[in-house]
Chain A
């Protein structure tokens, strides 16, 4: 009644990694753009910008990603927008990622010494010039390790997209398991694949942290 694990299955799994990567890249790139905007709004001296950004960050951080996925996928379809699963998952992940990256980056900007702002201000640089030429280039060093660390989270979180039927690595594993029922083998393999994707990034993040000596500052 159940067949064995064949190379066709393996090929199917490996192929589905591609979609995990596509979804991760989509979430990360769009989320970064959104997160940059959120960060800018959050550090703005204008309260009508910083307040909504704060509320946005706190609201999104307080909602499970799965619920965001349901809201986008099922919610939009009620209003007649039948979005493909990839688009829905990308959208939900983008919203989620933008809130977290916005907050991480806000923290890095805040960590820059205030006299750096003052020195630039006294040289007549505008706020935007100061941010672009003085603050962000220095904050980047600080931001890189946690950003890469969050990318690892994003890759793992794309597995939730399987729930709305998007065939990425996890969903592909489910489909194979449904036909051959070898959960240990199949999901073990899926786990290994995730690990192979994530581990180098984690190590990279760690080594950067050590090199920049961020912890000791």
Chain B
């Protein structure tokens, strides 16, 4: 099994607040992993550490053979391998949908205008929004904006994609359309690591589910784990709603 993402005993604190206390996990190529857990359990932080939006205090992180914990890591290289989608979409408000996607293609991948446009239309088609190419983000619904954000990441053809609670700001109907896009991605064999509160989706789609609790990987298992939790913490978490 070839691991694309590998975390080894990762520790991370914000000031005196220890958020990650020895997190280890591996994501194999083509795998879809859902990370669940209460807020404050460190799941988003773990995700952000993988793309080095946060630096870790101790431990190792390896992504596609790149040592992310190395202080001299080539961030440029790392971020061409990793795509990340945020809860708040973070589209560039002054650019159209198409321009949002073309920006990095043109200035990072140095594609010509026509070639960049071709790629943009392809990924827009993939998320079902080709007809919105000329719209500005503010003209779109939250679900559409999030699908554009996914397309924008996808356009850079990353080897692994990270999703940080991408549906948490959406109502159920819009959540559905975003999840469908992610489902298609998973079927296409994209390696995906997602932090989510969508238990049904996690159960149905994820190859493995990781339950994080108090900064540690508490329980790992397949979708069935949600029906038969091994630890009292996961049982409490599942009973507490959602």
State the A residues within 8 Å of B (CB): 113, 115-116, 118-126, 129, 133-134, 137-138
Binds A, one of B35-43, B76-84, B230-238: B76-84
Q: Are A122 and B84 in contact (CB under 8 A)?
A: yes
Interface status of B168 (Cβ within 8 A of chain A): no
Most buried by B among A121, A124, A138: A124
A45 to chain B, nearest CB (A): 14
A127 to chain B, nearest CB (A): 10
**Closest residue of chain B to A115, judged by CB?**
B90
**B-side contacts of A129, CB under 8 Å:** 107-108
Interface status of B88 (Cβ within 8 A of chain A): yes
Q: Within the assembled complex, what's the spacing in Å between the Cα atoms of A123 and B79?
A: 6
Most buried by A among B84, B104, B156: B104
Q: Within the assembled complex, what's the spacing in Å between the Cα atoms of A134 and B153?
A: 16
**A-side contacts of B107, CB under 8 Å:** 125, 129, 133
- Other A-B contacts than A122-B82, A123-B79, 20 sampled, CB-CB below 8 A, are A115-B86, A116-B92, A118-B90, A119-B86, A119-B149, A122-B83, A122-B153, A123-B104, A123-B108, A123-B152, A124-B104, A124-B108, A125-B103, A125-B104, A125-B107, A129-B107, A133-B103, A133-B107, A137-B94, A138-B93
- The binding surface of chain A is classed by DSSP as helix
Q: List 18 A-B contacts (CB under 8 A).
A: A116-B90, A116-B92, A118-B90, A119-B90, A120-B92, A121-B53, A121-B75, A122-B53, A122-B79, A122-B153, A123-B108, A123-B156, A124-B76, A124-B80, A129-B107, A133-B103, A134-B103, A138-B93
- The binding surface of chain B is classed by DSSP as mixed
Q: Mark B142-181, 1 if CB is under 8 A from A, else 0.
A: 0000000100110010000000000000000000000000
Within 8 A of A (CB), among B82-135: 82-84, 86, 88, 90-94, 103-104, 107-108
**B-side contacts of A119, CB under 8 Å:** 86, 90-92, 149
**A-side contacts of B79, CB under 8 Å:** 121-124
**B-side contacts of A115, CB under 8 Å:** 86, 88, 90
Interface status of B31 (Cβ within 8 A of chain A): no
